[in-house]
Amino acid sequence: MAPRRLARRSLLKMGLIGVPVSTAALGGGLAAVWAAADTTTAGRLTFTNRLAIPPLAASRVDVSGRRVFDLRTIAGEHQFRPGRPTATLGVNGGHLGPTLRASRNETVLVNVRNELSEATSLHWHGMHLPAAMDGGPHQMIEPGAGWSPTWQVAQPAATLWYHPHPHQQTARQVYRGMAGLFIVDDPDTPAGLPSRYGVDDIPVIVQDKQFGDDNQLDDSEAFWTPMGILGDTICVNGTLAPYHDVATERVRLRLLNASNSRFYRFGFSDDRPFALVGTDGGLLAAPYETARIQLSPGERAEIVVTLGPGERVVLRSYPPDLGINVWNRRFGGGDDTFDILQLRAAAQLSPSPPLPGRLADPPRIDASAPAATRTFQLSGYSVNGRQMDMSRIDFAVTRGTTEVWEIIAIDDTPHNFHVHDVQFLILSVGGAPPPPELRGWKDTVHTPPNTPVRVALRFSEHVDPNIPYMYHCHLLNHEDQGLMGQFVVVEPGQQPGQSPAHDHHHTRP
Ligand code: C2O
Ligand code: CU
């Protein structure tokens, strides 16, 4: 925690980097840096703060039956800890944003007003929707301007989320707090899952922060890390060292890794098993009992955990399996352990119904005759050797077809892969069938080095030859630096058009 930062900073101040030093001094310095590079808060937090629950966004139904939300992006502040509040960004408040909620088949309209002094956008991560409504870098909202996307929610129950997506500014804006959940409900969901929001169905938005002077957020990236900001302090829904009072036998946690770069490997402090019931794009076919679930940035998992009366158990992040060399693992958070959230069961718990044995239809995409097979090589800040160019459409896919994409990271640093518009089905990981936690609908997947991940994607409606969807690494500094590309969905035989907007919102150095 704080001592680690001091150690790292003082080493930088001492000029360890960039000046000639004796081999012995360098060896000693590196040993000190190495020793200081892992963080553990396991067993060290006192959990004094009640977990904040993001409010449900107010909505109304307009004359044409659309569910209407009003959002404002705000530069505000947030009291993370005693002392001076931290300058932050948020939606309808100073930090984070409300939880939007809509049902399958409902049409939504979201009025977004940008009250920041900089351009931004709001992207509906995981949502199947027209490219013009997607909120990527081509749907920028200038300061003082508004944007009102509308679409029909046409997908199963899921924990989706929203965040800004301005080209090269996403990391900074998300890190400052612009993020929120978008829960899709489905009348077909079987009864039995805990579903009282904030009571036994708990949003758990996990982010790491690094506090600098006077409680302000520190953006600096460690010299040795392969992956951008890695904060040493974890917050859940903006609360540090949080606890949540539980009054029911079972509680559902909707886990969202909304961190810029950090991976988490969630489990409980006593290693109790829990039921994984959902992944990025919806519920699994059946609950899967496990003791760990790893989430790379952008991924979600819904888990249900059972508690006994009076118990206290801590949701913990164990060292994640990054699959990379020891050096990058050490400086990429791969040796870190964090206590995340304490659950405090009441002395008497009200009974919860048993979990349904069947949750949803198993995801199915027939990938036996794909219309196209594409390969994406991730390395550094590029895909297939190319960096993001707002004016270049990398390829077009045809409406009504299925494609197979093979993603392979080749540079021994952590990456993952996120695709807009669709939920995909993972066919294989490193040539083997996917493990149970990767068998549900996914929109983001970890891509360990030299391990091909093959996914099947089905592109239905929402044709637009001119406005692209994005695919990218969701480690936000990799994305900002260029590990992103663009595709359009066209009618059979149609040619892709011209990407409409150029990146005119900020000048490059
Ligand atoms: Cu969560 Cu392209 O984004
Ligand atoms: Cu990456």
Same domain, 242 and 322: yes
Backbone angles phi, psi at 90, to 5 degrees: -160, 180
Same domain, 217 and 329: yes
- The pLDDT of residue 190 is 95
Pocket of ligand 1 contains residue 418 by CB under 6 Å:
yes
Q: Residue whose CA is closest, atom 3 of ligand 1?
A: 125
Contact 184, 238 (CB under 8 A): no
* 496, part of any domain: no
Output the domain CATH number for residue 143: 2.60.40.420
Atom of ligand 1 nearest to the CA of 444: 1
Pocket of ligand 1 contains residue 123 by CB under 6 Å:
yes
DSSP per residue, 374-400: EEEEEETTEETTB---TT---EEEETT
Pocket of ligand 1 contains residue 125 by CB under 6 Å:
yes
Atom of ligand 1 nearest to the CA of 470: 2
User: What's the 185 CA to ligand 2 centre distance in angstroms?
Assistant: 31
Q: Give the three-state DSSP class for 344.
A: strand
* 216, part of any domain: yes
Backbone angles phi, psi at 377, to 5 degrees: -95, 120
Contact 76, 90 (CB under 8 A): yes
* 299, part of any domain: yes
Atom of ligand 1 nearest to the CA of 163: 1
Mean pLDDT by 10 residues, the chain (509 residues): 37 39 60 78 92 98 97 98 97 98 98 98 98 98 98 98 97 98 96 97 97 92 81 97 98 98 98 98 98 98 98 97 88 93 98 96 95 97 97 97 98 96 98 98 98 97 96 97 98 86 42
Which of 185, 217, 246 is at the close of a domain? 185
Pocket of ligand 1 contains residue 176 by CB under 6 Å:
no
Same domain, 146 and 207: no
Q: Give the three-state DSSP class for 204.
A: strand
* Ramachandran class of 298: left when φ > 0, alpha when ψ lies in -120 to 50, beta otherwise: left
Pocket of ligand 1 contains residue 172 by CB under 6 Å:
no
Contact 16, 29 (CB under 8 A): yes
User: What's the 224 CA to ligand 2 centre distance in angstroms?
Assistant: 16
Pocket of ligand 1 contains residue 165 by CB under 6 Å:
yes
* 137, part of any domain: yes
Q: Which single residue is written with the structure tokens 């663009």?
A: 486
Atom of ligand 1 nearest to the CA of 471: 2
User: What's the 479 CA to ligand 2 centre distance in angstroms?
Assistant: 7
* 385, part of any domain: yes
Q: Which ligand is nearest to the CA of 475?
A: 2
Q: Which ligand is nearest to the CA of 417?
A: 2
Name 322's Cβ contacts closer than 8 Å, sequence gap at least 6. Answer: 263, 328, 329, 332, 333, 334, 414, 448
Pocket of ligand 1 contains residue 478 by CB under 6 Å:
no
DSSP per residue, 261-281: S--EEEEETT---EEEEEETT
Pocket of ligand 1 contains residue 316 by CB under 6 Å:
no
**Full domain range(s) for residue 410:** 372-490
Q: Give the three-state DSSP class for 24.
A: helix
- The pLDDT of residue 25 is 57
In the structure encoding, which two tokens stand for residue 210, read together? Answer: 């690094």
Pocket of ligand 1 contains residue 329 by CB under 6 Å:
no
Atom of ligand 1 nearest to the CA of 484: 2
Atom of ligand 1 nearest to the CA of 479: 2
Q: Which ligand is nearest to the CA of 299?
A: 1
Same domain, 416 and 446: yes
* 276, part of any domain: yes
Same domain, 81 and 214: no
Same domain, 211 and 284: yes
Pocket of ligand 1 contains residue 298 by CB under 6 Å:
yes
* 278, part of any domain: yes
User: What's the 290 CA to ligand 1 centre distance in angstroms?
Assistant: 28
Same domain, 438 and 484: yes
- The pLDDT of residue 109 is 98
Q: Residue whose CA is closest, atom 1 of ligand 1?
A: 125
Pocket of ligand 1 contains residue 163 by CB under 6 Å:
yes
Same domain, 308 and 449: no
User: What's the 141 CA to ligand 2 centre distance in angstroms?
Assistant: 26
Same domain, 408 and 441: yes
Q: How far apart are the C-alpha atoms of 185 and 327, rounded to whole Å?
A: 43
Same domain, 85 and 232: no
User: What's the 4 CA to ligand 2 centre distance in angstroms?
Assistant: 25
Number of independent structural domains in the chain: 3
Pocket of ligand 1 contains residue 446 by CB under 6 Å:
no
Q: Which single residue is written with the structure tokens 């790491």?
A: 208
User: What's the 447 CA to ligand 2 centre distance in angstroms?
Assistant: 9
Pocket of ligand 1 contains residue 415 by CB under 6 Å:
no
Q: Which ligand is nearest to the CA of 121?
A: 1
Pairing assessment for the beta strands 67-78 and 107-114 based on DSSP bridges: parallel
Same domain, 181 and 198: no
User: What's the 3 CA to ligand 2 centre distance in angstroms?
Assistant: 28
Same domain, 325 and 380: no
Q: Give the three-state DSSP class for 175.
A: helix
Q: Give the three-state DSSP class for 453.
A: strand
